[in-house]
Amino acid sequence: MSRALRILVVDDDPAMVGAITALVGTEGHQVITAYDGLTAVRRLREDAPDLVLLDLAMPGPDGFAVTGQVRAAGDTPILVVSGESSEEAKVRALRLGADDYLVKPFGKRELLARIEAVMRRVDRAPAAASSGAVLRAGDLELEPARHRAQVGSTSIALTATEYRLLEALVRAQGAIVPHDRLARAGWPMEADPDPLWLKPHLARLRAKLARAGGPGLEAVRGVGYRVAV
């Protein structure tokens, strides 16, 4: 790696956390630790790591739930490091947003190579995919780094939850965002947000967009929502 990383290591086994810390530490990377899912999501928000190394089996929200919450909150890359080797687990983790999957036990060189490969893909990603870029849906513009939303010259005042919901919808570029994924985007600190929470918040968000002349929000019955542009 050409740069040192801040890596969040999430595993309920202190010995495994210590082993990973020692391995990546030889390359100059800084480790942040969490031993359960709730702590992992909190550390993600507080410490803004460059990469998450995530086990699947842990107390509280498991690694699948944490993967969904991390992805809903942003684009932080996730490398699952798990003793679960089944194809079902791999496919589920990747579909939830994990960038790669490494099965325990593993060697130092493979771990470092996987980290390098994940970060190489991240570093090569278009700037428009970064959280600080301007996102657009028709005449609507979002600037996540500044929490700004506007249609033309008209600014839209949004609550933090409304903004997170709108950002998730705009990032989908017109594709349907399923109810559960959208709920995780709106309430990233909740272990199991209820999709029923969506309706009143999206109703207010839809009204604000309409007043500003922005795009509509379309409900797809039994599936999710999308931006109608």
pLDDT at 114: 92
Q: What is the pLDDT of residues 181-213, one digit of tens each?
A: 898 888 876 667 888 999 999 999 999 999 999
- Look at residue 67 and tell me if it is in a domain: yes
Domain contains 25: yes
Structure tokens at 53: 């190394």
Q: Are residues 15 and 76 in the same domain?
A: yes
Whether residue 113 is found in the same domain as residue 142: no
Mean pLDDT over 142-147 rounds to: 84
pLDDT at 151 over 90: yes
**Shared domain check, 223 and 183:** yes
In this structure, are 97 and 160 located in the same domain?
A: no
Shared-domain flag, residues 141 and 121: no
State the average pLDDT over residues 111-131.
70
| Same-domain status, 32 and 96 | yes
Tally of CB atoms within 10 A around 172? 19
Residue 126 in tokens: 């278009």
> Is position 107 within any domain?
yes
Mean pLDDT for the stretch of residues 49-60: 91
Do 108 and 142 share a structural domain?
Answer: no
Here the CATH number for the domain that contains residue 169 is 1.10.10.10
Whether residue 130 is contained in a domain is answered as no
CA 35 to chain centre: 19
Compare 61 and 122 and report the one with higher pLDDT.
Answer: 61
Do 60 and 92 belong together in one domain? yes
Whether residue 1 has pLDDT greater than 70:
no
Name the domain boundary from 94, 125, 156: 125
Classify residue 157: in a domain, yes or no. yes
How confident is the model at residue 174, as a pLDDT?
87
Check whether residue 206 and residue 116 sit in a common domain: no
201: nearest Cα among 161, 174, 170: 161
Structural domain contains residue 45:
yes
Same domain, 112 and 176: no
Assigned token pair, 113: 């190579």
For residues 11 and 99, state if they share a domain: yes
- Tokens, residue 54: 């995530």
Positive or negative CA dihedral for 91, 93, 97, 103?
Answer: negative
Q: Does the pLDDT value for residue 131 go beyond 70?
A: no
CATH number, residue 45: 3.40.50.2300
**Per the structure, how many domains does the chain have?**
2
Q: Where are the alpha helices (DSSP H) in 26-107?
A: 37-47, 63-73, 87-96
Question: Which percentage of the chain shows pLDDT scores above 90?
Answer: 49
Range of the domain at 206: 135-228
Six-digit token pair at 129? 């995919």
- Distance CA(196)–CA(201), nearest Å, equals 10
Beta strands, E only, 35-155: 51-54, 78-82, 100-103, 135-137, 140-143, 148-151, 154-155
**Cβ-based neighbour number of residue 49 at 10 Å:** 21
From 66, 95, 125, the end of a domain falls on: 125
Q: Is the same domain home to 121 and 172? A: no
What is the predicted pLDDT for the residue at 16?
Answer: 95
Give the other-Cβ count within 10 Å of 164's Cβ: 23
Last residue of a domain, one of 91, 125, 159: 125
